[in-house]
């Protein structure tokens, strides 16, 4: 999977009351001496393209000149991505806490909903007797009054909890979105309506010939309240689902910004390393720019489209310059309340760019921890090898076969075996013995590696890889693997 694995649709309206945080941490909207955010991003990408053309032409001086012109700008863009990432990480932490509390409060309201439903059902059962008789006794009227009072109390308690949720989930102008205020107001109307209905129908319930009609009217009133209850529950459930979804989207935004920070940071270090490593890292950055992903326009409205990382970097810069970026938004409608207090140590740790390769995924955007992933199409279809006794004996007779624990001969740090020329995939096998036997049965295989318990690459435990004679083996300590081969000795 590509370096932006896990960065999918980044939805809209994703940051709570962030302008206060941002203003205190870094003036993101300000024009700078080197031009706008978009101008600087465009210029840095243009120099990377110039370096690519010089690399293709073998023009070392051209590469050097392009990277010289880009260096300071790339460092500045990395710092900007880190600041945005810090805002997103802080907001993720704040909103995560509030959404947990929201879940608890919604649970309390749902419990109260259950009480209301139970009281209404009891009332209905009592009133049902009026449809079989012409009048209700004084004792039955007392019971109905008691149950009506209980239902009214339950409605009042639910309204109080909704009102409390309204006060706690403070967001300017949130009402049109969450409708908590509307729910609370509606509850007041319904509770009052039930009280009035009881008063209106009480006398009729005791009169001959009128009890049935009065009971029917009250039961319709109660059924209406049940419908309101169900609607309230549905609205609160939707509110909870949206809040949880937006929290996940905020984390995806932070992951994208972590990738952007690492990208620009690596670009800024290209002049500080040797020529061979520089050219290798330059190719890596250019390949990352061409990765496919689903983009958001980073504005308040969610309009995803397919594109490349290059387009995402430009779109993000443009949204900052225009003020439409949702990380600059002054309000939120999904995690409520004032912003997290400004100040204190940063949450976000700078990325170790020396470890970043083309295929990785961000695991934690706060610590910038990531893991390597396989490129598309990796692992390939496994090679089928003749495992007949005759074939295995012929393989063993090719020479002296040895083994070495805790080494990964058919592997490289930060690189999938799929990317190594000549590597052979034999599939997932039961253990090192089976892996060695498959290599022995394949006439072109002279070395093998079995992954016993190393999870550096997702899904790689149990994989068996082989290598031909021309393959350069990696004989360095590497826990979790076992390797062996024909005529190979541990140095």
Domain containing residue 482: CATH number: 3.50.4.10
Q: Is 432 in the same domain as 310?
A: no
Identify whether residues 402 and 434 lie together within a single domain.
Answer: yes
Position 183 pLDDT exceeds 60: no
State the DSSP code for 33: T
Rounded to the nearest integer, the mean pLDDT of the chain is 76
Determine which of 99-103, 262-266, 292-296, 375-379 has the lowest per-residue pLDDT on average. Answer: 292-296
Domain shared by 320 and 358, yes or no: yes
* 378 within domain boundaries: no
Q: Which residue, 343, 373, 403, sits at the end of a domain?
A: 373
Structure tokens at 477: 């300590």
Of all residues in the chain, what percent carry a pLDDT higher than 70?
69
Q: What is the DSSP letter of 215?
A: H
> Model pTM?
0.65
pLDDT-derived band at 428, boundaries 50, 70, 90: very high
Do 302 and 203 belong to one domain? yes
Mean pLDDT calculated for residue range 336-354: 70
Distance CA 225, CA 240 (A): 23
Tell me how many domains the chain contains: 2
Instruction: Judge whether 107 lies within some domain.
Output: yes
383 lies in some domain? no
Same domain, 280 and 427: no
Domain termination site, one of 373, 399, 414: 373
- 139 and 11 inside one domain: yes
pLDDT of residue 3: 44
Q: Residue 453 carries which DSSP code?
A: S
Q: Are residues 128 and 269 in the same domain?
A: yes
Structural domain boundaries enclosing 259: 1-373
Q: Is 300's pLDDT higher than 60?
A: no
CA distances from 101 to 1, 115, 267 (A): 36, 22, 42
Counting Cα atoms < 13 Å in the Cβ hemisphere of 289 gives: 20
pLDDT (mean) for 123-133: 63
Residue 154 lies in a domain: yes
Same domain (yes/no): 85, 123: yes
Does the pLDDT of residue 25 top 50, yes or no? no
Close Cβ partners of 284 (under 8 Å, ≥ 6 residues apart) = 266, 356, 357, 358
Is the bond preceding 379 in cis, omega lying within 30 degrees of 0? yes
Does one domain contain both 396 and 363? no
Same structural domain for residues 364 and 413? no
CA distances (Å), origin 446, targets 298, 437, 484, 490: 52, 11, 9, 15
My answer on whether 83 and 162 are in the same domain is: yes
From 324, 345, 373, the end of a domain falls on 373
| Residue found by looking up tokens 């509307």 in the block | 182
**Whether residue 291 is found in the same domain as residue 438:** no
Residue 424 pLDDT exceeds 90: yes
pLDDT over threshold 80, residue 436: yes
What is the predicted pLDDT for the residue at 269? Answer: 84
- pLDDT for 482 equals 97
Q: Which two tokens stand for residue 274?
A: 């040797």
């Amino acid at each position: 999977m590509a370096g932006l694995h896990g960065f999918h649709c980044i939805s809209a309206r994703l940051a709570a009351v962030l302008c206060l945080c941002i203003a205190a941490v870094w003036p993101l909207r300000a024009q700078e001496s080197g031009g706008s955010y978009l101008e600087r991003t465009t210029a840095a990408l243009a120099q990377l393209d110039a370096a690519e053309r010089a690399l293709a032409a073998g023009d070392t001086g051209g590469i050097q000149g392009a990277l010289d012109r880009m260096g300071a700008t790339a460092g500045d863009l990395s710092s900007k991505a880190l600041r945005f990432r810090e805002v997103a990480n802080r907001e993720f932490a704040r909103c995560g806490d509030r959404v947990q509390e929201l879940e608890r409060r919604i649970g309390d309201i749902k419990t109260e909903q259950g009480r209301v439903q139970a009281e209404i059902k009891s009332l209905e059962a009592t009133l049902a007797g009026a449809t079989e008789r012409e009048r209700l006794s004084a004792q039955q009227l007392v019971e109905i009054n008691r149950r009506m009072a209980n239902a009214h109390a339950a409605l009042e308690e639910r309204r109080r909890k909704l009102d409390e949720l309204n006060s706690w989930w403070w967001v300017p102008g949130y009402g049109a979105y969450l409708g908590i205020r509307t729910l609370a107001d509606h509850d007041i109307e319904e509770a009052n309506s039930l009280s009035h209905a009881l008063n209106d129908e009480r006398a009729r319930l005791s009169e001959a010939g009128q009890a049935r009609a009065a009971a029917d009217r009250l039961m319709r009133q109660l059924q209406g309240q049940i419908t309101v209850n169900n609607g309230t529950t549905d609205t609160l459930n939707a509110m909870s689902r949206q809040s949880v979804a937006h929290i996940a989207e905020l984390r995806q935004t932070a992951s994208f910004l972590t990738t952007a920070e690492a990208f620009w940071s690596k670009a800024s270090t290209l002049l500080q390393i040797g020529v061979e490593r520089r050219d290798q890292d330059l190719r890596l950055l250019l390949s990352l720019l061409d990765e496919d992903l689903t983009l958001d326009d980073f504005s308040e409205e969610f309009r995803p489209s397919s594109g490349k990382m290059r387009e995402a970097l430009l779109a993000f810069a443009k949204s900052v310059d225009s003020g439409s970026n949702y990380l600059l938004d002054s309000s939120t409608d999904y995690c409520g309340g004032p912003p997290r207090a400004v100040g204190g140590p940063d949450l976000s740790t700078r990325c170790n760019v020396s470890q970043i390769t083309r295929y990785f995924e961000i695991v934690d955007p706060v610590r910038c921890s990531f893991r390597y992933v396989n490129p598309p199409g990796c692992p390939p279809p496994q090679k089928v090898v003749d495992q007949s006794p005759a074939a295995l004996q012929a393989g063993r007779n090719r020479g002296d076969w040895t083994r070495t624990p805790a080494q990964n001969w058919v592997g490289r740090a930060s690189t999938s075996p799929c990317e190594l020329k000549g590597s052979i995939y034999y599939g997932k096998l039961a253990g090192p013995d089976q892996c060695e036997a498959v290599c022995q049965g394949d006439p072109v295989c002279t070395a093998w590696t079995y992954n016993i318990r190393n999870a550096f690459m997702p899904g790689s435990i149990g994989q068996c890889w082989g290598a031909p004679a021309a393959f350069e083996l990696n004989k360095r300590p590497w826990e979790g693997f076992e390797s062996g081969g024909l005529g190979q000795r541990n140095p």
